[in-house]
Structure 1
Amino acid sequence: MNTLPNECYDMIFNNFQYEYNDLFSCALVNRQWCRIIIPILWRDPYFKLEDIRFIRTLLLTLNVEEQTLLIPFNITLPSYSKPLFEYTCYITSINSDLYKGIRNWLSFDGAKNLLHAIKSSLIVMFLRTSGTLKDLRLDEIICNQLLFEKLYENTTVTHVSLFISYKVNDDLLSKSIDRLVKFVNKNSTLTCFNLTSIRLGIKGVKTLLEALYKNTVLNSLGFFGNRIVDAILDQKEEKQ
């Protein structure tokens, strides 16, 4: 019996990319279909990010360097065999639901530093393994040297959205701005950059905008929930 070329199967299965149960069933038919369907299922994993099984699979993919970030917290990582597929290499986008999935895996809210450490390790892993990652959305500031180094090296991410809490201390905020500036200056593929709820102040805004001004590929910039006006008014009052 003649079979269709893989390209035809790929077109067919892509029409069902949001019919996850149907795709799972088709993936069990044979190895050929499975190899075609797995990349489709893992392309946009939004429906999986809060699932502890998904987080467990991701943790199995961490290398020694990424696991090192978790050593100070003395947590036990999954010890199952490595996944059959390199699932993370197909992922194109990651959003803030990753944080919820980590909390679910821990079975408790846990210390904020622990949650950030796990998330940092996973994002570093995504940047290392995924050659198709385009959209990265983070719901908290992650002032992690290794993570920013991987961001500097990344040549696939085109959309980055970051949120910095109002509660972040001045020292951490200053370091974060410096690293964001370095990231913007070094990244040649970034076309969309969104910053939400960021307590930058006049100096921080000026520093970041100067870096963004030099970026010749950026075509979309968003500042949301920022206290820029408050900072301007505060500066005016100080002068008076």
Structure 2
Amino acid sequence: MKPLPNECYYIIFKNLRHNYKNLFSCALVNRQWCRIVISILWSKPGHHFKNKKLIKILLLSLNEEEQVQLIPFKITLPNCRKPLFKYANYITSVNDDLSEGVRNWIRYKKGYELEYAIERCLILLFLRICKLKHLSLNGPICDRLILKNLYENTTITSLDIHNNDGGSFKSKATYGLLKILNKKTTLTSLNLRSIQFGSNKLGVEGVKALAFSLYENTTLTSLNIQSNDTNFDLKFYIQSIEILQ
């Protein structure tokens, strides 16, 4: 009998993706099965992003350019032997548990500046080596380089931008997002959470531009906007947006 191709094994093992015990058992059978199972186990880390051991493994994958950005903080990055597999390459979904995982890894160091810097480098890593489908971003780390990589990305279908730590979604990040929306993109789902739309954040012109880009966009099928600014009437600016089908 002819051996099954890897594609068939992948479909079979994917049905066990919620049964970690059996999946791990399959990974011990042979090298072929192990490679396939590892790709499934690491595709959606989910709450495991909170684990500082996972963050340590991910930091081992930073390239020289990404590591250099952390030099000003005088932290010691992991310097142990690299894992057998390039685990980070298999990740297709990044949620906001990443922020908590970074906090757990830096432990005693306080302040958001270091946390944002590490999180930013990890996001750049994911955008560089992963075939992401879903990405959750902490608004304050959305700088020019991340937005540039997002603009060039051709795999992400779902984007979630949030401000869980009380930071601000800068106006330059807004216009970076507009470029992505105006591009013929793969993005079908956009979730903007806890965004401050008041005059001291995005401003009237920023919100108008965002509303117009959303109105003109032809790829989004799901849109969710939540503002934590109770003094700003967002409805006035998005009344022209049709309900996405």
- Shorter-chain TM range is 0.7 to 0.9
196, 199, 206: which one pairs with 1:199?
A: 196
Q: Which amino acid in structure 1 is aligned with residue 17 of structure 2?
A: Q
Distance in structure 1 (CA, Å) of the matches to 2:167 and 2:182: 24
Identity %: 49
Q: Which moved more, 1:160-169 or 1:21-30?
A: 160-169
Identify the residue that residue 158 of structure 1 maps to in structure 2: 157
Out of 163, 169, 172, the residue aligned to residue 175 of structure 1 is 172
With over 3 angstroms needed to count, the CA separation of the structure-2 counterparts of 1:187 and 1:21, relative to structure 1, is farther
Cα distance change, pair 111–76 in 1 and its aligned pair in 2 (3 A):
same
Residue 8 of structure 1: how far off its partner (Å)? 3.7
How far apart are 1:165 and its partner, in Å?
6.2
Partner of 1:230: 231
**Compared with structure 1, are the counterparts of its residues 92 and 72 closer, same or farther at alpha carbon in structure 2 (3 Å cutoff)?**
same
Give the CA deviation at 1:46: 0.8
RMSD: 2.4
Stretch of structure 1 that moved more, 136-145 or 34-43? 136-145
Q: Secondary structure, in 3 states, of the residue corresponding to 1:193?
A: strand
The alpha carbon displacement at 1:72 in A equals: 1.4
CA distance 1:109–1:211, change in 2 (3 Å): farther
| Letter of the structure 1 residue corresponding to residue 231 of structure 2 | D
Q: 1:2 to 1:156 in 2, by over 3 A?
A: closer
Per the normalisation by structure 2, the TM-score is 0.84
Counterpart mapping for 1:1-240 below 5 A: 4-108=4-108, 110-131=110-131, 133-164=132-163, 168=167, 173-186=170-183, 188-201=185-198, 202-227=204-229, 230-232=231-233
3-state SS of 2:140 partner: coil
In 2, Cα distance between the equivalents of 1:143 and 1:11?
36
| Alpha-carbon distance in 2 for matches of 1:167, 1:57 | 28
1:192 maps to amino acid: S
Aligned pair count reads: 230
Closer, same or farther in 2 for the Cα pair 1:27/1:167, shift >3 Å?
A: closer
Q: Secondary structure, in 3 states, of the residue corresponding to 2:17?
A: coil
Unaligned runs of 5+ in 1: 236-240
Partner of 2:49, secondary structure, is coil
**1:180-233 CA deviation, whole Å, 9 max, x = no partner?**
222322361111111111112333321211222232212221111343x62249
C-alpha contact 1:141 1:162 (8 A) present in aligned 2: no
* C-alpha separation in 2, matches of 1:79 and 1:141: 28
CA contact (8 A) 1:165 1:198 kept: no
